[in-house]
Amino acid sequence: MKLQKQAEVTEYKAAGFIEKYQQLVRETVIPYQYEVLCDNAGTEKSHVIENFKNAAKALRGEDVGDGFYGMVFQDSDAGKWLEAAAYSLASKRDPELEAKADGLIALIAAAQDSDGYLNTRFTIADRDKRWQNLLEGHELYCAGHMAEAAAAYYEATGKRKLLDVCLKNAEHIYKRFIEDGVEGYPGHPEIELAMMKLYRASGDERCLKIAEHFVNVRGVDPTYYRRERDSRDWTVWGNNADDNDYQQSVRPVREQSDATGHAVRAVYLYTAMADLASEQGDRELKAACERLWKSITQRKMYVTGGIGSTVHGEAFSVDYDLPSDTAYAETCASIGLMFFASRMLEGRADAKYADVMEQAFYNTVLAGMALDGKSFFYVNPLESVKGISEVAPTHRHTIPVRPGWYACACCPPNVARAVMSFGKYAYGENEDTAFCHLYAAGDINLKNGISFTCETGYPYDFTVTYNIRSDGRLAVRLPHWSRDTKLTLNGCDAEFELKDGYAYVNASAGDVLVLTLDGEPRYIRGSSKVPELSGKACICRGPLVYCFEDIDNGDKVLNLQLKAGGKVTVSEESPFEDTKALDVEALVSEDDGSLYSAVFPELKRFTAKAVPYYCRANRGNVNMRVWLPMQAYDKS
C-alpha cells in the first residue's frame, strides 16, 4: 500500500457532533481567546499582543523597559490561536475573524528581527541571551507554533505573510544550527513537527532539513544540556539539565523504547519522528516510533486516552503506574497523542492508531473544555472526591471544576485547534484511496478527487452512512471495540478487503456505503499489572468512556459497585443536551461510617446513571469515578 497522508481536505464541512463542537469553538472559544490575547477578557494578564507590539518598538530602538510579560513561551499562544483561527476560516469564511488574524500577523511580522529571529522575550530585552538556553528558552518551541499557524493560515486563506515570516525565521534557524553547525536541540520539542508542516506548505527543503536535524541530533550527546547550563549564568526556572529522561535525551531517539519524561514534549517529538520516518522511508526511525507507541498505549495510557500520569514533571511514570485520583493526564498530552497517532496512520493505516486517536479525542481532549466552551481543564483525573481532590497534598493539581483561564495557557488553545482541524484526523488520503479513520459527519472533498458525504449521529449513534459522489476506493476503519460490525454497499453486504482493521471498498458515484458499529455498552477491565485497577471495571460505549457523578446517583458514587453482567441501557434522558447517559444495573452499599469494621454492609440493587467522561464536572464539584469495584463472583 502506498503511503497515505493526512487529508489535504480542501473542504471539510463538518456536521453533527463535530460541527456542534466546531461551532462552539468558532463562536465562543476563538473570540474569547482573542480577547485574552488582547487582555480584554478580565482574566489574568496575557500580554501576548502587547509583547509583539513592544518587540517591534524595541527593534525600532524605542525603550520599552519591562515590556515583556508572561511565560518564556508566551508567543506560542498567538501561534496556537492563529492556527485555530485558520482552521475555522478554512471551514467557514469570517471576514471579522480574518481581519483580526491579519492584524495579529502584521504585529508578528513587525516583531521579526532583520536576521529572521522571531521571539518577543529575547527581543524586548536580553537580546544577548538569544539561543543561550535551549533547555528552557522555548525559542524553537515558539518558532514551531508560529510555523504551524503559518502553514494552516496559508492553507486556509492563501495569504503568504505569516508563511514568509516563518520561512525567514526557518532560514535563520537553518543557518545557525545547520550551516554554521551550532550545537544544540530544543528542551521542548515542537519545531520538528512544525517544520514538517511548513515544508509541506511551502515546499522549502530547508524546513525538512531542520526537522531532520533536530530529530537526529537529540540525545546523541546527552551531556549537551549540562554543558549549555554551565556555559551561561542565568536560568528560567532552574530546570535540571541532567534530567535527560524529562527531556527525552538520554540516548539518540532511534534507540529509545520507553516513553519517558514530560508527556507533551515526548509526544510532540514522537510525532515528528513518525512524520519524518514516513516521509523518508526511514525504517529504523519507524521502528523506534513503534516501540514508543507500544510503550505508551500498552503500558502508560489511561482508558480515557490520557497520558503522563504523574504531576511530577507532568510526566510519564513507570509502566502500569496509572492512579485515577492523582492522574495528571494533561489535555495537551492527549492532543499530542492524537498528533502522534495521525502520523503513525500516515505511515500505515492500522486501526490501532486510529482507535487510540479517537479514544484520546472523545475523552481526555473533549474533557479539557467545559460544555459551554468557557472553562478548561489541564489535568484530567479519573476520580474526583470532594475534600480530597485539590485539597490533599498529593492532589493539589486535581482541581475539580474547570477554571476559566490559566497563566500557562497551553491547553485551551490546543483544544481549539484540535477541534477545528478534526477533519485532518478523521480523513486521510493517498493517490487512490480515501481513509475514513474517524466517523465524522460532513462533506468531504479530497485532493485525490474522491468526494463523499458522511452522515452519522456518532458517537451516540452507530450507523455511519457514506454517500459516494465520485468513483474511488474508501478505506473504512473497523474499530477494535466493535464486536458486531456490518458494512453494506447499496443495501447488500459490501465486498471488502480487510487489512489492519480497515475495510477497503471500491465504490462508485451514487453508491451508499453504510457502516453499522456495535453500540452496546461494554464493561472494560484493566490489566492486573495496573495496581489501581484490581477488581474494578469501567463502562464504555463506542469510543466514549463513561463516568459516574454524585449528582446523578444520590450522592452515592463512593458506595457504588458494578456487577458482572449487570445490564447497561441507554437512558431515556440525559442531563446534557445531545448526549446519551446510561442506566446501569449496579449495587450500592451503605455503611455506618465507622472507619474500619468487621460488619459488611449489604449490597443492594441500584440503578446507577453514567454520563460521558468528557461531560464531567459541568455541574459543580461532585464526586466522580470512572472505575468502580466490580462484583463478578458467582457463589454457585
Q: Which residues are catalytic?
A: 314, 410
Instruction: Indicate whether 632 belongs to the interface with its own copies (CB under 8 A).
Output: yes
Amino acid at 92: K
In this chain, which of 1, 287, 392, 509 binds its own copies, going by CB under 8 A? 392
Q: Are 563 and 587 in contact (CB under 8 A)?
A: yes
Q: Which is nearer to its own copies, 283 or 635 (CB)?
A: 635
Q: Which residue is associated with the grid cell 455511519?
A: 464
Integer Cα distance of 225 and 230 in angstroms? 8
Tell me the closest approach of the beta carbon of residue 541 to its own copies, in angstroms. 11
Q: Are 433 and 415 in contact (CB under 8 A)?
A: no
In this chain, which of 103, 510, 531, 554 binds its own copies, going by CB under 8 A? 531
Instruction: Indicate whether 530 belongs to the interface with its own copies (CB under 8 A).
Output: yes
Q: How far apart are the first and last CA of the chain?
A: 53
Phi and psi angles of residue 310, each rounded to the nearest 5 degrees, phi first: -115, 140
Q: Which is nearer to its own copies, 203 or 593 (CB)?
A: 593
Instruction: Indicate whether 350 belongs to the interface with its own copies (CB under 8 A).
Output: no
Tell me the closest approach of the beta carbon of residue 563 to its own copies, in angstroms. 6
In this chain, which of 172, 229, 536, 609 binds its own copies, going by CB under 8 A? 536
Q: Which stretch binds its own copies (CB under 8 A): 273-281, 366-374, 386-394, 412-420?
A: 386-394
Tell me the closest approach of the beta carbon of residue 478 to its own copies, in angstroms. 15
Integer Cα distance of 190 and 275 in angstroms? 13
Q: Which is nearer to its own copies, 92 or 397 (CB)?
A: 397
Beta bridge partners of 468: 452
Q: Are 41 and 50 in contact (CB under 8 A)?
A: no
Which 3 state secondary structure label does DSSP give 544? strand
User: What residues from 354 to 383 belong to the interface with its own copies (CB under 8 A)?
Assistant: 383
Q: Which stretch binds its own copies (CB under 8 A): 172-180, 234-242, 315-323, 330-338?
A: 315-323
Q: Which is nearer to its own copies, 294 or 348 (CB)?
A: 294
433-436 vs 472-477, strand pairing mode:
parallel
Q: Are 255 and 214 in contact (CB under 8 A)?
A: no
Integer Cα distance of 246 and 266 in angstroms? 9
Q: Residues with Cβ < 8 Å from 156, sequence gap 6 or more?
A: 86, 87, 89, 90
Q: Which stretch binds its own copies (CB under 8 A): 166-174, 402-410, 494-502, 517-525?
A: 517-525
Q: Which is nearer to its own copies, 164 or 290 (CB)?
A: 290
Integer Cα distance of 304 and 545 in angstroms? 6
Q: Which is nearer to its own copies, 39 or 390 (CB)?
A: 390
Tell me the closest approach of the beta carbon of residue 267 to its own copies, in angstroms. 17
Integer Cα distance of 535 and 9 in angstroms? 45
Integer Cα distance of 572 and 239 in angstroms? 52
Integer Cα distance of 415 and 418 in angstroms? 5
Integer Cα distance of 374 and 33 in angstroms? 10
Tell me the closest approach of the beta carbon of residue 602 to its own copies, in angstroms. 9
Site string for its own copies, 105-144 (x = CB under 8 A): ----------------------------------------
Peptide bond into 381 cis (omega under 30): no
Q: Are 586 and 537 in contact (CB under 8 A)?
A: no
Q: Which is nearer to its own copies, 106 or 551 (CB)?
A: 551
Q: Which is nearer to its own copies, 269 or 533 (CB)?
A: 533
Instruction: Indicate whether 385 belongs to the interface with its own copies (CB under 8 A).
Output: yes
Q: Which is nearer to its own copies, 102 or 321 (CB)?
A: 321
Q: Which is nearer to its own copies, 309 or 342 (CB)?
A: 309
Cell of 568: 447497561
Amino acid at 559: N
Q: Residues with Cβ < 8 Å from 504, sequence gap 6 or more?
A: 433, 473, 474, 475, 496, 497, 498
User: What residues from 317 to 336 belong to the interface with its own copies (CB under 8 A)?
Assistant: 317-321, 323, 325-326
Tell me the closest approach of the beta carbon of residue 310 to its own copies, in angstroms. 5
Instruction: Indicate whether 628 belongs to the interface with its own copies (CB under 8 A).
Output: yes
In this chain, which of 93, 447, 486, 529 binds its own copies, going by CB under 8 A? 529
User: What residues from 471 to 490 belong to the interface with its own copies (CB under 8 A)?
Assistant: 481, 483
Q: Which is nearer to its own copies, 188 or 536 (CB)?
A: 536
Q: Which stretch binds its own copies (CB under 8 A): 58-66, 162-170, 505-513, 523-531?
A: 523-531
Instruction: Indicate whether 3 belongs to the interface with its own copies (CB under 8 A).
Output: no
Residue 548 DSSP class: E
Q: Which residue is associated with the grid cell 468487621?
A: 598
Instruction: Indicate whether 631 belongs to the interface with its own copies (CB under 8 A).
Output: yes
Tell me the closest approach of the beta carbon of residue 302 to its own copies, in angstroms. 9
User: What residues from 549 to 608 belong to the interface with its own copies (CB under 8 A)?
Assistant: 558-559, 561, 563-564, 587, 589-591, 593-601, 603
Integer Cα distance of 571 and 581 in angstroms? 5
**Number of residues lying near its own copies (CB under 8 A):** 71
Tell me the closest approach of the beta carbon of residue 129 to its own copies, in angstroms. 29
Q: Which residue is associated with the grid cell 493517490?
A: 431
Residue 361 DSSP class: I
Tell me the closest approach of the beta carbon of residue 461 to its own copies, in angstroms. 20
Tell me the closest approach of the beta carbon of residue 334 to its own copies, in angstroms. 15
> What CA–CA distances, in Å, run from 132 to 32, 212, 234, 395?
35, 22, 9, 36
Tell me the closest approach of the beta carbon of residue 335 to its own copies, in angstroms. 21
Integer Cα distance of 33 and 39 in angstroms? 10
Instruction: Indicate whether 433 belongs to the interface with its own copies (CB under 8 A).
Output: no
Which 3 state secondary structure label does DSSP give 391? coil
In this chain, which of 114, 312, 492, 573 binds its own copies, going by CB under 8 A? 312
User: What residues from 292 to 311 belong to the interface with its own copies (CB under 8 A)?
Assistant: 297-299, 301, 303, 310-311
Integer Cα distance of 75 and 119 in angstroms? 7
